[in-house]
Structure 1
Amino acid sequence: MTTTTAIGYDKNLPATDPEAFLTREVEVPTLGPHDLLVEVEAVSVNPVDVKLRAGAPSGGFRVLGFDAAGTVREVGSAVSLFAPGDEVFYAGSIDRPGTNQRLHVVDERITGRKPQTLSMADAAALPLTAITAWETLFDRFALTEESTGTLLVIGATGGVGSIMLALAEVLLPHVTVIATASDAERAAWVRSLGAEHVVNHRDALAAHVFAVAPDGVDWLFTAHSEGQVESYAQIVRPFGHIVAIDDGPRDVFPLKGKSIAWHWELMFTRPLRQTPDLIEQRHLLNAVADLVDQGRIRPTTTTRLTPISAATLREAHELVESGRTVGKVVIHEWA
């Protein structure tokens, strides 16, 4: 039996508790036909990690973590896309053990080549947010290079919002982008990523949006939709589209009068459901790697912590839980 060092939890404790994360040796799963065994060299912490840890006890020792960058060490019997020694980055799947372990198993079809111009740490900042942003823009909104109109990104300073601005800047040249930010520092961040207009989402969102887009917006992305449907119904034009990544409202009836479409985006749907187009996540990660290596988009890392340890994970979870982080929090190098 092969084991590896993993950092996980077995109790529902606040991140400030010294026992919130524990280090244990765990068994490495047997590789499936399409699986890669990756030596993890960097990970990042996303809101989904915080939500899962805080929401309920694990029911046993659970290893969190989705984003990872590392090196392939072994491959499954049917693997054709990678070989040992390849450097990769990916976001994994919510139904498998997480990436907060030295050796991690992931399906090759949801794994991309690591951008050659990035460190492992900066590469680990990208996968989950880039997949979410890409699927929002090109699958849910169905935007193309020829699309024209106005996109409002709410929660633009977070990980998903940040990379969405960068992708829109280089791939959607005719789309006007409005981003939300709560202060001057955050406004400067979203402008640096390509936002043409910045509005404050703290109060009177509709008034701020109409000041720069009098006719409203065509597409609205939100990471914070609870209690906002009435406002969105004002802001979005008839036949417009909204994509939410949080748990959102239970009643979207106010949108009916303008035939506004409400979409959910969960980047784990493809791996969870093993959809026929599963490999699209590999394709989009490779497309993002190409954009990075061409110098067209940059990593969204703002906080780098080291080493990968229980104590550092607690620190990273505290930062993400604060709701005040800009960009991504990354942890790299094992203790």
Structure 2
Amino acid sequence: MLRFLCISLFLSFTMAKNLPKTMKAVGLYKYLPITDVNSLIDMEVSVPAPKKREVLIEVKATAINPIDTKVRAPKPNVETQLRILGFDGAGIIAEKGEEVTRFKLGDQVFFTGDLSKNGTNAQFVVLDDLHVALKPKNLSFEQAAAMPLTSVTAYESLFDRLLLTDKDKGKSILIINSAGGVGSVASQLANNLGLKVIGTASRPETEEYSKKHGVHVVLNRKNDLEQQLKDNGYSNGVDFILVNYDPYPYWNTLMKVIIPQGRICLVVDSSGLVDIKPLKAKSITLVSEMMNTRIAYNTEDKYRHTEILEAVSKMLENGQLKSTLSNIISPLNAENLREAHKLIESQRTIGKIVLSGF
């Protein structure tokens, strides 16, 4: 025991001692169109220091999400310090605050980001340990980095917002945009629960991807969804709907195909005003999901975020979930990150894009 303690102390001292003072990062000062070379720039900045409940993570891989492009989108704000985006990833614990007991230096972890702080598009990131869990042992850093944000979002959407349980086995769920990051995790979780999973796609490759990730029936999003549901045996509608896309163009259809007393969860903001009056006649429950709500508002159940990350890690290890990584871009620099943002903004991506290496 003494020998183990000595080794741990030695490793901790060595890692802390060898930390660089500066790091490479990609960020912005101005919020510009992604076609502008200054929309994301390469910089050298100071390595941040963790506070009491924080960990410093050496980033090995970071994923790109629609939230990155939304935060970066053109607006008049100008930052006085480099704003670093990136809201999930995987890496190694390099240093930790004195109150952190869940991790030791050298632990391999995956994590969600924090909108209120600099993010993961850098060699190091500081996060409250609530955002972090041990990386699934069977996944590479890139495979693991693809999962945290979308998995927590999908998990909360199904179990905390739509309130699904094993008693819902055999019921139906319609997942709008089932080939996207959240959709391809939600379809696996719903399938594991025994639900009949219906997805939407528009291309042969997205239809195939959806089916590989737990979708039983794939509807063509460009055609009449109500009629397609009827053609596939759902004339009475569906029990649950998860909307991973702008709900505005789908709204009237959603109101028609949800069963009385059904539940709908919105993950994406509506681009226009919608009429909520149809909800009343059917007594429909409409809920929204934002991954970081518990931590951002310091809710009493904020540790639920960590519990979900830990549960996802176990599911990935035991094969109940598989990584939705679809594209690795390397190295992580401004040019490649701009390309990743362009891909996300094209709205034609499948699964998750991950950048790794500096």
Q: TM-score range by the shorter chain?
A: over 0.9
| 1:127 counterpart (135, 148, 173) | 148
Contact 1:210 1:235 in 2 (8 A): no
Which moves more between the two structures, 127-136 or 275-284? 275-284
Aligned mates of 2:46, 2:301 — CA distance in 1:
30
Matched, 1:165 2:210: no
Once the two structures are superposed, what CA deviation does each residue of 1:2-25 show, in whole Å capped at 9, x if it has no partner? 433221012222223222211222
Q: Secondary structure at the match of 2:166?
A: coil
Q: Secondary structure at the match of 1:16?
A: coil
Matched, 1:90 2:111: yes
Matched, 1:150 2:169: no
Aligned mates of 1:94, 1:57 — CA distance in 2:
19
Q: How far has the Cα of 1:118 moved from its partner?
A: 0.7
| 2:136 counterpart (91, 100, 115) | 115
Matched with 1:325 is 349
Q: Give the greater-gyration-radius structure (CA).
A: 2
Contact 1:72 1:87 in 2 (8 A): yes
Residues 50-129 of structure 1 mapped to structure 2, 5 A cutoff: 50-60=69-79, 61-129=82-150
Contact 2:173 2:240 in 1 (8 A): yes
Contact 1:9 1:58 in 2 (8 A): no
Q: How far has the Cα of 1:58 moved from its partner?
A: 4.9
Q: How far has the Cα of 1:229 moved from its partner?
A: 2.1
Aligned mates of 2:126, 2:277 — CA distance in 1:
42
Contact 1:110 1:279 in 2 (8 A): no
Q: How far has the Cα of 1:55 moved from its partner?
A: 4.2
Q: Which amino acid aligns with 2:179?
A: T
Aligned mates of 2:49, 2:187 — CA distance in 1:
39
Aligned mates of 2:242, 2:76 — CA distance in 1:
31
Matched with 1:189 is 209
Residues 134-283 of structure 1 mapped to structure 2, 5 A cutoff: 134-148=155-169, 149-170=171-192, 172-173=193-194, 175-212=195-232, 213-224=234-245, 225-248=247-270, 250-251=273-274, 252-283=276-307
Unmatched segments (≥5 aa) in structure 2: 1-19
Q: Secondary structure at the match of 1:228?
A: helix
Aligned mates of 1:191, 1:178 — CA distance in 2:
10
- % identical aligned pairs: 37
> Please, what TM-score do these two structures have when normalized by structure 1?
0.95
Aligned mates of 2:222, 2:173 — CA distance in 1:
19
Once the two structures are superposed, what CA deviation does each residue of 1:174-195 show, in whole Å capped at 9, x if it has no partner? x111011112221111111111
Q: How far has the Cα of 1:34 moved from its partner?
A: 1.1
Aligned mates of 1:323, 1:84 — CA distance in 2:
39
What CA RMSD, in Å, does the superposition of the two structures yield over aligned residues? 1.5
Contact 2:48 2:56 in 1 (8 A): no
Contact 2:49 2:56 in 1 (8 A): no
Aligned mates of 1:156, 1:58 — CA distance in 2:
34
Contact 1:10 1:57 in 2 (8 A): no
Q: Secondary structure at the match of 2:230?
A: helix
Contact 1:110 1:280 in 2 (8 A): no
Q: Secondary structure at the match of 1:293?
A: helix
Contact 2:150 2:182 in 1 (8 A): yes
Unmatched segments (≥5 aa) in structure 1: none
Report the number of matched residues. 332
Which moves more between the two structures, 270-279 or 301-310? 270-279
With over 3 angstroms needed to count, the CA separation of the structure-2 counterparts of 1:160 and 1:56, relative to structure 1, is same
Q: How far has the Cα of 1:27 moved from its partner?
A: 3.4
Aligned mates of 1:229, 1:255 — CA distance in 2:
11
